[in-house]
Amino acid sequence: MTLSEIINLPIWEMNIPSVTFLNGILLFVSGISIVRVHNNWKWEWTIIITVIGWLTLFLGLWRMLFPSAKQASDSILTYILLGMLLIIGLFLTFKGYCTSKNSSDLS
């Protein structure tokens, strides 16, 4: 998903408030879902999921309240952020699908 954001970054220059609002609703609902199911604040790698849930919730709320606000610009900071999201996504994918002797022990 991060790769599609990198490839299609110029579409955010043409900000359509109704589409941004709809995107905000989807982000808000997915953030609430993640927080409700996985609100774990132990200092382990699983805290990443909780933090992503809260950030998604707040990003969705921001996009619903301010759909006409300027979105991500085509700058080096945006590409650094998207690169970090790609690394986090790869890490979580590895942790989610790695095989362990005990399926309840994911740490």
Mean pLDDT of the chain: 85
Task: Decide if 79 is inside a domain.
Answer: yes
What pTM did the predictor assign?
Answer: 0.76
106 belongs to a structural domain:
no
Q: How confident is the model at residue 91 (pLDDT cuts 50, 70, 90)?
A: very high
List pLDDT tens digits, range 56-87: 999 999 999 999 888 777 788 888 988 998 99
What b-and-e string marks burial along 66-96, b requiring 16 or more CB atoms within 10 Å of the CB? Answer: ebeeebeeeeeebeeebeeeeeeeeeeeeee
**Overall number of domains in the chain:** 1
The domain in which residue 73 lies consists of: 2-97
Residue 103 lies in a domain: no
Please indicate, yes or no, if residue 102 is contained in any of the structural domains: no
Is 105 inside any structural domain?
no
Q: How do residues 33-53 score in pLDDT, each as one tens digit? A: 999 998 888 998 889 999 999
In angstroms, the first-to-last Cα distance of the chain is: 25
